[in-house]
Amino acid sequence: MFVIPKTARSWVNVDPTSHFSIQNLPFAILAPLGREVTLATAIGDFVVDITLLREAGLISEKQFPFLDSFADLTQEEFTELRRALFELLEESNPILRDNDILKMKALVPLHRARLLLPIKPTAFIDFYSGINHASNVGRMFRPDMPPLLPNYRHLPVAYNGRASSVVVSGTPIRRPHGQTKAADAESPTFGPTKELDFELEMGFYVGMPSAMGETVDIGVVKEHILGFVLVNDWSARDVQRWEYQPLGPFLAKSFGTSISPWVVLPDALEPFRVTRLEQDPPVLGHLQTSEPMAYDVHLEVKLKPAEQEDYATISATNANQLYWSFDQQLAHQASNGTPLGWGDLYGSGTISGTEEGTYGSLLELTWRGSKPVKVGNVERKFLEDGDSLILTGYCQGEGFRVGFGEVEGTILPA
């Protein structure tokens, strides 16, 4: 593990509100104009082309001969690459700082950089670990029953999603068709969803696989986590309501999942580990740990209706509201001998706070459409065609941030 000191500064000018301080140094896949794709990092308002640094002799070619995908490096090698980048970008190091020609080539303005899906996931698993969201959904759809089902506090509930429809931020999302049934109708109909929604989530990629039949102890499971992203698991609520019993979401969730292009390493988030929510009753042995297992990540959702020019913040919450930690999620997945695959993507489930304005979906923010959200001079119950949504998140340090950038998507007509 390599935790960058909180007092470190870069020779690159970094605004205190930038997500990409020198304490972060996340990784993405950059597609430079006229060249092969390369791993890149971010500092302030710039994307750093790591291949150009290697070609200039500033990154070891022997240690990092391949830099065109996440698959080329182990977690330990990512740690060492991040350490090398830190040394080059630290304010007292003149090697890159004073090389104006190389800086001009290797530092690409963030707004001009074309960033790709960091890893095409081999599998996508979506958990249901936001206890406030789960409770709200229970109150809405099962008003005569306890909000949480009996298993919720005993195991991290999840379902297998659709890896082929995971896309990078900025990819438009087309309104899906599906089968729905109105409460007063005798039979279902097929057509475009009328209740298109977002889900505010965090996610992580697996960076170290395990063998089939092998369990992974919760004490070492974090060694299998490559890094973290933001996730928007788009949802068709009316389709979901009709189809999800008894086996759970299917077409309501499989049409699109958007993620951030930047993969933030666990090393960068380590200073922001906090004690998770109290788990009562005590969990079973394969999920028990004495370590603080939540992360203090501030999360926001911004919506720009099709009729308006500007985004407005409609929700703000924190990842510390997850009942089940990422470590517990992955340990539980492997507890039956399921092989963890390199590149598997896991979503946390919708993250909501306890009060209005902190909910991670329109389903909750509008309470099933009964209380529309005011956005500028219009109202929204669910997403309309042409609406654009941004999810963003960051950890706040002393004068710096460690952030994920944004996950953006615009709704296209069915």
Burial class (CB in 10 A: 0-12, 13-18, 19+), 112: exposed
Tokens for 48? 């750093």
User: DSSP string spanning 183-210?
Assistant: TT-SS-EEEE-S-EE--EEEEEEE-S--
Judge whether 363 and 137 are in contact, CB under 8 Å: yes
The reported pLDDT for the residue numbered 52 is 98
Q: What is the pLDDT of residue 227?
A: 98
Classify the C-alpha dihedral 117-119-121-125 as positive or negative: negative
Using the Cα atoms of residue 268, residue 108, residue 39 and residue 78 in order, give the sign of their dihedral: negative
Query: What residues pair up with 230 in beta bridges, in sequence order?
Result: 202
Catalytic residue among 133, 154, 224, 332: 133
**For each successive 10 residues of the chain (414 residues), what is the average pLDDT?**
97 98 98 96 98 98 96 96 98 98 98 98 98 97 95 98 98 98 95 98 98 97 97 98 93 98 98 95 94 95 97 98 98 98 98 97 97 96 98 98 98 98
pLDDT at 347: 98
CB count in 10 Å sphere of residue 343: 18
pLDDT for 290 equals: 85
The answer to whether 414 touches 176, Cβ cutoff 8 Å, is yes
Cα 100 to Cα 52, 64, 95, 115, distances in angstroms: 14, 24, 10, 24
Interatomic CA distance for residues 294 and 108, integer angstroms: 34
Radius of gyration of the chain from its Cα atoms, rounded to whole angstroms = 22
pTM above 0.85, yes or no: yes
The structural domains of the chain, ordered by start, are 28-116 (2.30.30.230), 124-412 (3.90.850.10)
Contacts of 68 (CB under 8 A, 6+ apart): 36, 37, 38, 39, 51
| 8 vs 111: CA distance, rounded Å | 25
Would the CA dihedral through 152, 153, 159, 163 be positive or negative? positive
Nearest to 53 by CA among 81, 22, 23: 81
- 313 beta partners: 302
Question: What is the reported pLDDT for 173?
Answer: 98
Q: Which two tokens stand for residue 360?
A: 């991670």
Write out the two tokens for 344: 């598997």
* Dihedral, 370, 242, 304, 348 alpha carbons, nearest 10: 110
Q: Is 298 a catalytic residue?
A: no
- SS3 category, 47: strand
pLDDT at res. 291? 87
Report the distance separating Cα 351 and Cα 319, nearest Å: 6
Q: Which amino acid is at 128?
A: Y
